Amino acid sequence: MKTHFLLLLPLLVSFPVSGGASNHTVDHEPPLLGGWQPIEHVKDPHVQEIAKFAITEHNEEAKTNLKFKRVIRGEEQVVAGMNYRLIVAAKDGKVTNNYEVVVWEKTWESFRKLTSFKPV
């Protein structure tokens, strides 16, 4: 009986410690499932490709001639694939403006769709 108690003693001692550790506050909230998450590396080649795709698609749909300059910031959202919401700088003639673009991508199907394009 004494042997069983000695084997259980470390568990009994560690239980309150580990239970108490989970009650402390955290500086950040865990990401929401399906929520938008910041893209840390907007210069990533894939993010650049998504932005250029958005400009090209918009040019075809709206019969404009915007020229991609850069990605300013962006967010991504896991859906049935991935949504990318980017703030993109594009040149229209001599004037550079910023646009919010949303592109839905399913890489396993080689699918991309521009779902939103608006000036900001």
**pLDDT for 115 beyond 90:** yes
Residue 34 has a pLDDT of 82
% of residues, the chain, pLDDT over 70: 72
The edge-to-edge listing of strands for the beta sheet with 67-79 is 37-38, 67-79, 81-92, 95-106, 111-119
Residue 86 has a pLDDT of 99
* Distance from C-alpha of 79 to C-alpha of 76, rounded to nearest angstrom: 9
Confidence band (pLDDT; 50, 70, 90) for 30?
low
18 burial (CB, 10 Å; 0-12 / 13-18 / 19+) is: exposed
Per-residue pLDDT tens over the stretch 54-92 = 999 999 999 999 999 999 999 999 999 999 999 999 999
pTM tops 0.75: no
**pLDDT for 107 beyond 90:** yes
**pLDDT for 33 beyond 60:** yes
Please state the domain extents for the chain. Answer: 38-119
Across 6-20, 30-44, 91-105, the highest mean pLDDT is recorded for 91-105
Residue 23 has a pLDDT of 45
Residue 78 has a pLDDT of 96
**Does CATH place domain 38-119 in 3.40.50.300?**
no
**pLDDT for 4 beyond 90:** no
Q: Which run of H or of E encompasses 76?
A: strand 67-79
Q: Are 52 and 13 in contact (CB under 8 A)?
A: no
